[in-house]
Structure 1
Amino acid sequence: MADFLLVHGAWHGGWCWRRVVAILAGQGHRVFAPSLTGLGDRAHLLSPEVGLATHVEDVLAVIEAEELRDLVLCAHSYGGAVATQVADRVPEKIGALVFLDALLPQDGRSLLDLDTPERREAILSRVAETPRGPVLPPAPAALYALAAPEDVAWVDRRCVPQALRTYSDPAVLTGAWMQIEVLAYACTLRFPAPDFRDIAARLARDPRFTIHELASGHDAMIDVPDDVADLLLGCAEAARAGGRDEARATADGTACATVAGSPS
């Protein structure tokens, strides 16, 4: 059995992994899907002090408290900025690092720094000042190209504002996370923004990564939870079986192969 730690994206909470958690836990695996500070069931903890480093510490605390080893760490969207720094701090505890339509941070730069000036201006124009500090209001769930209208309504209902500092604080990285034996990046095909497909195309030139595609909207854990669970299980198996070489070999086989759901 394997341990899985799932990191959600911006405005979401641990709730968004509910379907994937049920699949993995139903097969006897241990699965942790914490809500980051100020989000999900921890929205009441939003404060001016919450920043990117806060979320990194949130995930590190789960690893420490649950004494996790050889875990599969999976990050969605904004969660990539969190999980990469977590993996950089404790690479020896992680068997596989999986990015799901996820952002990749750079040392000394914030997520806003990585955007074009035009996009950065557009993001900052949406900032709302609140008693708990400046926040970014959630994007409409319709943008995520989810297949089911009821899922769009669910995501809109559950998403909450996120602390601006999570996007404006610089990341701290040494590069140690690249030691992890199994590194995988999965991009979704129905999400209209090309950002994550561009990242996947860039990483496809790096032999340390296996690249996967999911025929879903951006919130693949909601849209195609069975396919996401299969991807995670495959990467867990690759980590157990021999790490990076096994992941490359099975990318053309079955254990960690490209996953495609049913287009809607």
Structure 2
Amino acid sequence: MTIAPTLGPDIIAAAEILTMADFLLVHGAWHGGWCWRRVVAILAGEGHRVFAPSLTGLGDRAHLLSPDVGLATHVDDVLAVIEAEELADIVLCAHSYGGAVATQVADRMPGKIGALVFLDALLPQDGRSLLDLDSPKRREAIVSRVVETPRGPVLPPAPAALYALAAPEDVAWVDRRCVPQALRTYTDPAVLTGAWMEIKVLAYACTLRFPAPDFRDIAAQLAKDPRFTIRELTSGHDAMIDVPQDVADLLLACAEAARTVEATCAAPTGSPS
């Protein structure tokens, strides 16, 4: 896999002296903002502002689960943070299912996003749901796990052992904190125009210990696109828990790359003749 020059050693070194940046972190299925705790501590400890909201019906907002919660609800959750906090030049990072959310957020507000970072994340397609993107066999397996509840049909969380986390205590933590997720988040179609591809800094990081090849396959496809920087992390699927410093370093490098691109675009091109 190729590493684009925008995130080369010079940029990574410069990230060590990066002025304050805003980071918006979107968690994956069944998780909540809690899963970013270690990354938030690193970035905030260096003086950056970090927002890691829990999506409706998940994490500390699990009590808001209802039949009305769908993919668009989660997109609106993240858009509301951007609006309420008056954010701009954000480094938007999405993990796993969160890729379906963050891509639509970036598509709606590309001018607010300085860098878009996918961490073992799904890439949605316009007019198609996440279930549509699965093979018939996998779709059938997912649907077979659906549980009907008074708050609507839900997908129970997968066992954390599947994520290949390094520490047993982290497996126990993830199992303890994950909650069922509204089925509609997987059956609602995404709405995209392609505007998110205008974002100047695009990065995809895949993990190497997670046994499912899905995200490595996505990274391999994106490696053919010169607009993307591809990274590999030696961790399980929940890299923000397994290797929080590596994730923080990647986000800081993307923030610096976005600043560099912005400064280059703003620089005068010379006096008129």
Partner of 2:203, secondary structure, is: strand
| 1:100 corresponds to | 119
| 1:249 corresponds to | none
**Runs of 4 or more above 4 Å deviation:** none
1:80 equivalent in alignment to 2:99:
yes
User: How is 1:244-263 mapped onto 2 (pairs within 5 angstroms)?
Assistant: none
| 1:158 corresponds to | 177
Is there any run of 5+ residues in structure 1 with no aligned partner, and where?
A: 247-264
| 1:43 corresponds to | 62
1:173 alignment partner, one of 183, 186, 192: 192
User: How is 1:221-236 mapped onto 2 (pairs within 5 angstroms)?
Assistant: 221-236=240-255
Q: CA deviation at 1:178?
A: 0.3
Q: CA deviation at 1:133?
A: 0.1
Residues 100-126 of structure 1: CA distance to partner in whole angstroms, max 9, x if unpaired? 000000000000000000000000000
| 1:215 corresponds to | 234
| 2:261 corresponds to | 242
1:57 alignment partner, one of 66, 71, 76: 76
Question: Which amino acid is the alignment partner of residue 6 of structure 1?
Answer: L
TM-score (norm 2): 0.89
Q: CA deviation at 1:166?
A: 0.1
Q: CA deviation at 1:242?
A: 1.4
Q: CA deviation at 1:83?
A: 0.1
Question: Which amino acid is the alignment partner of residue 205 of structure 1?
Answer: K
Residues 208-264 of structure 1: CA distance to partner in whole angstroms, max 9, x if unpaired? 100000000000000000000000000000000116x99xxxxxxxxxxxxxxxxxx
Q: CA deviation at 1:180?
A: 0.2
| 1:8 corresponds to | 27
Aligned equivalents of 1:146 and 1:210: distance in 2?
25
| 2:14 corresponds to | none
User: How is 1:118-137 mapped onto 2 (pairs within 5 angstroms)?
Assistant: 118-137=137-156
Greater RCO structure (CA 8 Å; 6+ sep): 2
Aligned equivalents of 1:213 and 1:64: distance in 2?
32
- 146-155 vs 234-243, greater mean Cα deviation: 234-243
Percent of pairs with identical residues: 90
Q: What is the count of residue pairs matched by the alignment?
A: 246
Aligned equivalents of 1:236 and 1:101: distance in 2?
19
Aligned equivalents of 1:52 and 1:241: distance in 2?
33
Partner of 2:72, secondary structure, is: helix
| 1:28 corresponds to | 47
Aligned equivalents of 2:90 and 2:190: distance in 1?
23
2:131 alignment partner, one of 112, 119, 124: 112
TM-score (norm 1): 0.92
| 2:15 corresponds to | none
| 2:215 corresponds to | 196
Aligned equivalents of 1:89 and 1:197: distance in 2?
27
